[in-house]
A and B are shown apart, each in its own frame.
Chain A
Amino acid sequence: MSDAARIAEEARRADIRTRWWLTAPALFILFIAAVGPLFVVLLFSLMVKGDYGDVKYWQFSTDGWFSVFFERDIFDDTVGLAQAHMEILWRSVKLSLITTLLTLLVGFPTAYYISIQPPKKRDLLVFMITIPFWTNILIRTFAMQEVIRNEGVINTLLIWAGFIERPIQIMYTDWAIFFGMVYVYLPLMVLPLYASMEKIDFRLVEAGYDLYAGRFQVLRRVIIPLVKPGIVAGSILVFIPSLGAYVTPRVLGGGKNLMLGNLIDLQFGQGKNWPLGAALSITLLVIVTVALLVYVRNASRQGGGHGH
């Protein structure tokens, strides 16, 4: 090995060492604040439930996990799939998928519009998108309630304008939930979309037109492939928090139907079944992780093929 190569190799090692040192504080915090509590949750999911909440420490049981997926029927004592849990899980996944789709439909044109503005105006618009983040989600949800309730802004306006005679029931419907969810999570979709649209070389769009592509074709064959990373990132940023959404469905949806978040809450509260609650939380985590893994695999597979 020549001297030059050795020096280069040493420099490289020193560099890696510095990087490790620099990331150590972050890794340490992540370990203490994320892995530690998660481990506690995992332990709790494997212990015997306490009589009045809590768990019986160091008495292990798989009952919590068993009842995530299966249940002994209370009336005829047969063991079957925990249908109620499956339905609640599916409702949460469905709600998250629809929310993701709606935010994409609304967010895509918004992000596109912002990215074709002159730079100064762009900054202002992006700034305005982030304004809702300044307020707590609970307050935003209650504010939304003032807009859609029977004597709220929308109904009062419609009645005043003579379109309707009696208020339309918007609160406590699925519409109210979607309305609230889209409003709350929209910035999480717009910002990554904008980040990737900003980088588009618009000469490619012009080239598309020059090659006789229609507007729809340009959108489908040029713009969408270019902003795909933004679409995927935005979708994940919206999908994941939607899955555990708790406040919005409860306040705007009226709380008649449980979401995964409410089901977990029930186990730690009146249900007094902490192991089941812990197991449900981990189930939620696994779903999210699987979604992320699928994304990472897709993204890395495409990474090589793109030439930009």
Chain B
Amino acid sequence: MKRLLKAAIAGAALLMSAGAALADGELNIFNWGDYTSPEMIKKFEEKYKVKVTITDYDSNDTALAKVRAGGHGFDVVVPSANFVPIWIKEGLLLEARPDQMENFKNVDERWVNVDWDPGRRYTVPWQWGLTGIGVNKTVYSGDPNTSAIFLDPPPELQGKINVAPEMNDVMYAAIRYLGGKWCTDDKELLKKVHDKLKEAKPKWLAMDYSAYEKMAAREYSAVYYWNGAMLRARLKNAEVTFGFPKEGYPFFMDSVAILKDAKNVENAKLFMNFIMDPENAAMISNFAKYANGIKGSDKFMDKELQDAPEIHPTAEQVAAGEFMLPCAPEVNDIYTKIWTDVLK
């Protein structure tokens, strides 16, 4: 009897220690490179005694392909708005119901009923931004709020323009510039888009991802690029100014989701709740310089972000933007063909 008791106690102790180990646990985050605040991660690790591992990806397509292939070991992923429906449709995400979490009340109403995840049953906002125009105002003093900067460049900017090598963002700007709607398959309009891009390309210097450093270093005088990068460029070089193309520009939002085959679901849920806390969301923004979609996070942000025009568009500027949803495969094929022909 005594022996049995001993065994039972030992067993219980073992179970308890195992339980403690689980709570300590791990969390594997799969996120875009150079995007996760180490400070925020450290705070999370200390608060919940969880060891966080971050793995980088460089495009939505890479992330999707890797997770789809299986055996990845990730718990949390941060896809862009236009990819979230694909992830959900392919059954890769866990319906984690963040809308029932404690900190959900902090999410800005604007980001609750979003097209890609109505009511936020799968995802919570991470950061959002847009593709717009960066201009060096000592070279060009006109209005930067137009896609004409790179589609019909003024003489002083010709040969000094960099355009992000992103098929969707560039096609989007060109289609809206010529008066069309995103995902249009109107051949006549697309012909014009094709011709416009072909005509504009010789006036560009490069199509590169290094616009932040090179705008600051005056290698480029104008870019079609992401607002957060241009904010960083302006902090380095005050000559850089940002414009929101009035003809139309694409918004993006990356959202945190839990994978269906995650091993550390509880920790992942803790993480979701954690980043909806304004103070923690502000840490994310301070690091990557994009807005985050959590109410009340502004006051915890660095001074230089609080009133940055790049991440605080006016209502009028917001109205010109739109979230780019994925086009039908047939339409995507046409866009790829146009893009290949422009870049051949």
Contacts and interface: CB of A to CB of B under 8 A. Distances in A.
B343 interface: yes
Contacts of B191: 75
Contact of B86 (A52, A150, A257, A263): A52
Interface size class of B (residues with CB under 8 A): 35 or more
A287 B148 CA distance: 42
Interface string A148-162: 011100000000000
A84 B341 contact: yes
Given A151-B217, A263-B340, A52 B64 contact: yes
Interface in A235-265: 250-251, 254-258, 262-263
Nearest to B62: A269
A51 B329 contact: yes
Interface in B191-212: 191, 194, 201, 204-208
A256 B207 contact: yes
B194 to A, nearest CB: 8
A272 to B, nearest CB: 6
A87 interface: yes
Interface of B: prevailing SS? helix
Interface residues of A, number: 37
B61 A270 contact: yes
Given A74-B338, A263-B340, A268 B61 contact: yes
B336 A270 contact: yes
A171 interface: yes
B296 interface: no
Interface in A153-175: 169, 171-172
Contact of A256 (B206, B332, B334): B206
A266 interface: yes
A63 B204 CA distance: 34
A256 B343 contact: yes
Contacts of A150: 218-219
A258 to B, nearest CB: 5
Contacts of A256: 201, 204, 206-207, 343
A269 B326 contact: no
B47 interface: no
Contacts of B201: 256
A172 B205 contact: yes
B190 interface: yes
A271 interface: yes
A208 interface: no
B208 A87 contact: no
Interface string A177-209: 000000000000000000000000000000000
Contacts of A266: 167, 336, 339-340
Interface string B38-75: 00000000000000000000010110110010000000
Contact of B65 (A54, A149, A255): A54
Given A52-B329, A171-B219, A266-B340, A254 B61 contact: no
Contact of A258 (B62, B65, B343): B343
Nearest to A72: B337
Contacts of B62: 269
Nearest to B90: A52
Contacts of B329: 49, 51-52, 272
Contacts of A149: 219
A180 to B, nearest CB: 14
B340 A53 contact: no
Interface in A55-78: 71, 74-75
Interface in B64-111: 64-65, 68, 86, 90
A171 B220 CA distance: 11
B16 to A, nearest CB: 44
Contact of B344 (A53, A74, A88, A268): A88
Interface of B: 59, 61-62, 64-65, 68, 86, 90, 159, 162, 165-168, 187, 190-191, 194, 201, 204-208, 217-219, 326, 329, 332-334, 336-341, 343-344
Given A83-B341, A268-B65, 16 more contacts: A54-B65, A84-B337, A84-B344, A151-B217, A254-B162, A254-B207, A255-B208, A256-B204, A256-B207, A257-B343, A258-B343, A269-B59, A270-B166, A271-B332, A272-B61, A273-B333
5 contacts: A71-B337, A74-B338, A172-B206, A257-B344, A272-B329
